[in-house]
Structure 1
Amino acid sequence: MSASAWNSRPPLSRAAVARVVQLAGAFDVATAVLLPERHGRIAALAEFVPIAGILSARAATAAAGVLLIYLGAGLRRGKRRAWQLAVAVACAGIVLNILRGLDFDAAVVSAALLGLLIAVRKRFATLPGPHSRWRALTALAAFAGAGFALGLFEIAIRADHLIGTPGVEAWAQQAALGLIGVSGPVRFVRPWAADTVSLTTGTFGLLAALAAVVLFLKPGERRPVRTEGDERRLRELLARYGGDDSLGYFALRADKALIWAPSGKATVAYRVVRGVSLAAGDPIGIASEWPEAISAWLTDCERHGWTPAVLGCGRTGGTAYSRAGLDVIELGDEAVVDVAAFSLDGRPMRSVRQAVNRMRRAGYTCTAVRQRDLPPDELSAVTQAADRFRDGNVERGFSMALSRLGDQADGDCLLVLARDQDGQLRGVLQFVPWGADGLSLDLMRGDRTAPNGLTELMVVTAVEAGPSLGVRRVSLNFAVLRSVFARAEQLGAGPVLRMWHRLLRVVSRVWQIESLYRANAKYLPAWQPRYLCFPTARDLPRIAVAALTAEAFLPAGRTVGGPLPAPETALISR
């Protein structure tokens, strides 16, 4: 895509072609299922084609129509392989409509569709995934092989109920032809036995075709590859412009790829998940170069058929993405504490003050130290303790988490270490740099047997240590849909808002949305809005699944999500 703005709708001709293909598919299904059989034509055709072949062609026509309807979504995104399959199905439709009853009218429709697809072939050039072809062939062979083996086995166990003495070669033909819904040479004494074999082989044949098509059209997922030069340039940009966005440092995650503006002065960090290219936060670099970096990212999405989405960008980033053609909605608010104005005095801070005092009376102490200032053996002990404190086996986070602790390259990170009266480490909190004068909460690991108040003690220690560290602002966390909870508590809240609030409270029983908001609100932060950017509303379900997968709340491949964080540690689930 050469333009700097994302076209949230595909080109009209491409969208129109997709609709025509889907209408042609619906026409095939209707003519195969709903129209009455023309016995005169079938009788004439039966002189050349077996009745079983005619019936199979009728069923195959309906299946081809369903496949065309499915392919419409891929064509709308410009997928080359969707176009290739549509061409193949249109060719097959010409033959099938003739074989199922000399339906020349329907065959002409398929031929016209084929001509249309060939005429607009240049509009479908999205690059396929690097391994989708082999995965499709593997799935096709696996399901077909399993169906063939089961069909052969079912024939073998009924060998004494066969008419005549067909050999193993005839058995193999029966099982193989059954995969495509065609009757073979084997005849059974009991008709139900033949139906059983046909059902088994036909089901596996259909599964093989469906699995192969889905995998064939599945967008590829790029493995993030960074050179030393990319890493160096990114850290240089963060050193100069990292203060613009509290999420900037999280671009250093190993699972995020980088795409650069031609000048190299701005970049977008992203990860491809389930066909969605997820960027997080604002672009990094000089703001005047953001449009070029965003354009390069959107062009990459267009070439590969990925859906672009941005999680948690700020107001400035949201404006830049909006100008590039994406829709923007408010996703929630980030809690930012002003270090100079922070105090434990006053009634609003009573609960935090009591929690901190209770922990200190119990003998707990807390220290804040830059990672680079910890001796190697002590840093090793901290990372080991953090692993023990982790709730579950899955490291959650993507947009607002670094997902590593103790790396030598992260020497500027701030560690807050909580110890009990015996000097045992009971809690670890890590902040990443937010420019030269800010900190952004990354993770917290706490011993679940520690008294309540461990979280408050560590957070307050980090904020109170700010002046000595040259820190003016501390970003604690992100509260999804915070405004709904805040406005629902105000006098005069309307019925729609109250209903939305009740729904979110139900959802919070699983996702802890409300508890995370209240865990942030107790520190009286300033709330800064964060936004979600996306192409169109119909893409939101796909983006939601991709985002939950990236944040490790849904399984990705062989990775299975663990239990959700407990309320005591929910504050740190960035």
Structure 2
Amino acid sequence: MMHSRSARPPLSRRTIARLVQLAGLFDVVTAIAPPRHGRMATLMEFVPAAGVLSARAGTVVVGLLLIYLGAGLRRGKRRAWQVTVALAALSIALHLVKGLDYGAAGITAILLVMLLATRDRFTAVADPENRWRALTALLGFAGAGFLLGFLEVAIRANRLVGAPGVADWAREAALGLVGLDGPVEFRYRFGADAVAWTTGACGLLAVGVALVILLRPGAHRPQRDGDGEVRLRELLARYGGADSLGYFALRADKALCWAPNRAAVVAYRVVNGVSLAAGDPIGPESAWPDAIGAWLADAERHGWTPAVLGCGNRAGRAYRKMGLDVVELGDEAIVDTGGFALNGRPMRGVRQAVNRMRRAGYTCRVARQRDLSPGELAGAIAAADLFRDGPVERGFSMALSRLGDPGDADCLLVLCRDEHAALRGVLQFVPWGADGLSLDLMRGDRTADNGLTELMIATALEEAASLGVRRVSLNFAVLRSVFARAEELGAGPVLRLWHRLLKVASRLWQIESLYRSNAKYQPAWEPRYLCFPTARDLPRIAVAALTAEAFLPEPRLPGLRRPAVVPA
């Protein structure tokens, strides 16, 4: 069994990253500070004014890039270290060219020596695709700057000293990209400055954009072979009842990180440099540490930030033992089908909505996917696509993102038709072990009568017992306890303020409506947790999670999403 390990980067690496960022800030300050007059007079004897100005602008760009590189160094990225070393060496030269700043050059030289002495701490591999994208950006911006500079010289051909040829025009534009004067002399200073600023700006932009692309977190394409898929389904058949999110590991965009003996696995997706796992590891609990350790090691090797979205209590303890911090994220609504009934005052609202729909002629069919005819399944797929709210597919942690796949024969579908037998709503539940279901997909016709959602869910819960299902996971309510406690007598001012902020956020993400829509089915609430390395990583993890769930834009493959359970 693997021993507990820290998910945080070594202190020495964090310290180096901060020192590099401070050096970058120092570069920016020295570049915008006025130079010493005596040194400038000496420097101007050897370096033209355009070169000095370019060196000062270059120092600013290098400083900003060093600040940006701190994040990559903290994650141990080898390429970030390589670029930092190159920029530190360049910064020494720029400090001398921009004003004979020996003090700044000496400080940067010390930084360079420190980087070279600690090179063995930066071993995270880089995304090879970024190299070609960076090269494309470099050539694209540099080519655009060269073309603009060449055209600026051409349109001033009658205002040049002498008769330089086209080759001289090209050399002027090319040298301008690196801040140097070319062979062309202009009669008027404005023309020379215009060419210098255009080409110089494009050259700096080309280098800056290329480096940002080179160092940005790369995408990770899931590699799932047939044997891995078979093994995953075997583990789900044996241990899938432990976690209602287990079946969602079968999503096509999730990669699998196995324990060395393949006894357990962590399903994850890399989003913006965050290795985002969802739910519990799949397999026997005794094998979880090995799978989690392998996943953390994989994240460290690539320089990704590890995070877990929506794991249960036992998994949260396991992740904490492996070095991650854990906070409560919200609660999952789980209904015991044996005790579910529409009678009683607490179910009055649901009962009235269901009875109204049934009087209007709406009926539901509940069946496993394998029991539907090809025509019924095709109709359900077409209806689900038609009823989708917008082109974006939402869902990651609790969404399968497909409907009708032959491998999902055990999925349960609820098909709701109106009095004219027209399909008006579709639900899909994925298996949760041998006796459970987890809500995956909900689509409804917005022109249908009010109560469509309640009718489909209530029908599924009523017929679940006859299908051998004793528990159903409806959905996940983020920060449910805040809404529940804010309604209690004696809620404090901090809790009320937090409640108001969440109500504002609910206008965009339906946080409160999701909680209340689940609560009316009288479920039991099971807490779910967020695991992360350090508090400073939370903003990046939040952006990655919102992106994965498609609340923030990102190009995505077509598929189906897990919609929220909202009032019909």
Q: Which runs of 5+ in 2 are unaligned?
A: none
Separation of aligned partners in 1, 2:369 and 2:83: 55
Task: Name the amino acid aligned to 1:11.
Answer: P
Separation of aligned partners in 1, 2:267 and 2:128: 21
Deviates more, 1:232-241 or 1:84-93: 84-93
The aligned counterpart of 1:129 is 127
Q: Write out aligned runs for 1:355-504 (5 A).
A: 355-504=353-502
The aligned counterpart of 1:13 is 12
Separation of aligned partners in 1, 2:338 and 2:271: 41
The aligned counterpart of 1:211 is 209
The aligned counterpart of 2:283 is 285
Separation of aligned partners in 1, 2:52 and 2:382: 69
SS in 2 for 1:483: helix
Give CA deviations for 1:115-170 in whole Å, capped at 9, x if unaligned: 22111111111101121111111111111111111222222223333343332222
Separation of aligned partners in 1, 2:549 and 2:281: 20
Alpha-carbon deviation of 1:559? 7.2
Which of 553, 565, 568 is residue 571 of structure 1 equivalent to?
565
Are the equivalent residues in 2 in contact too, given 1:220–1:304 (CA < 8 A)?
A: no
Are the equivalent residues in 1 in contact too, given 2:61–2:204 (CA < 8 A)?
A: no
Are the equivalent residues in 2 in contact too, given 1:485–1:514 (CA < 8 A)?
A: yes
Are the equivalent residues in 1 in contact too, given 2:66–2:84 (CA < 8 A)?
A: yes
Give CA deviations for 1:474-497 in whole Å, capped at 9, x if unaligned: 110111111111111111111111
Which of 507, 510, 522 is residue 509 of structure 1 equivalent to?
507
The aligned counterpart of 1:198 is 196
Separation of aligned partners in 2, 1:194 and 1:508: 56
SS in 1 for 2:128: coil
Task: Name the amino acid aligned to 2:381.
Answer: T
Deviates more, 1:50-59 or 1:507-516: 50-59
Structure 1 residues 385 and 58, CA gap change in structure 2 (3 angstroms) = closer
The aligned counterpart of 1:116 is 114
The aligned counterpart of 1:231 is 229
Are the equivalent residues in 1 in contact too, given 2:517–2:566 (CA < 8 A)?
A: no
Are the equivalent residues in 1 in contact too, given 2:7–2:296 (CA < 8 A)?
A: no
Are the equivalent residues in 2 in contact too, given 1:25–1:66 (CA < 8 A)?
A: yes
The aligned counterpart of 1:32 is 31
Separation of aligned partners in 2, 1:537 and 1:156: 56
The aligned counterpart of 2:183 is 185
Instruction: Please report the RMSD computed on the Cα atoms of aligned residues, expressed in angstroms.
Output: 2.2
Separation of aligned partners in 2, 1:403 and 1:470: 25
Structure 1 residues 206 and 6, CA gap change in structure 2 (3 angstroms) = farther
Task: Name the amino acid aligned to 1:27.
Answer: F
Q: Write out aligned runs for 1:297-376 (5 A).
A: 297-376=295-374
Separation of aligned partners in 2, 1:5 and 1:161: 73
- The TM-score normalised by the length of structure 2 is 0.95
Are the equivalent residues in 1 in contact too, given 2:244–2:438 (CA < 8 A)?
A: yes
Are the equivalent residues in 2 in contact too, given 1:188–1:194 (CA < 8 A)?
A: yes
- The answer on 1:143 being equivalent to 2:147 is no
Give CA deviations for 1:554-574 in whole Å, capped at 9, x if unaligned: 222477999x99xxx63179x
SS in 1 for 2:108: helix
Alpha-carbon deviation of 1:501? 1.1
Structure 1 residues 145 and 560, CA gap change in structure 2 (3 angstroms) = farther
Task: Name the amino acid aligned to 1:570.
Answer: A
Deviates more, 1:4-13 or 1:229-238: 4-13
The aligned counterpart of 1:23 is 22
Q: Write out aligned runs for 1:37-116 (5 A).
A: 37-39=36-38, 41-116=39-114
SS in 2 for 1:284: coil
Separation of aligned partners in 1, 2:92 and 2:101: 9
Deviates more, 1:412-421 or 1:10-19: 10-19
Separation of aligned partners in 1, 2:92 and 2:2: 40
- The TM-score normalised by the length of structure 1 is 0.94
Are the equivalent residues in 2 in contact too, given 1:219–1:304 (CA < 8 A)?
A: no
Are the equivalent residues in 1 in contact too, given 2:333–2:524 (CA < 8 A)?
A: yes
Task: Name the amino acid aligned to 1:210.
Answer: G
Give CA deviations for 1:304-355 in whole Å, capped at 9, x if unaligned: 0001111111111111111111111111111111111111111111110010
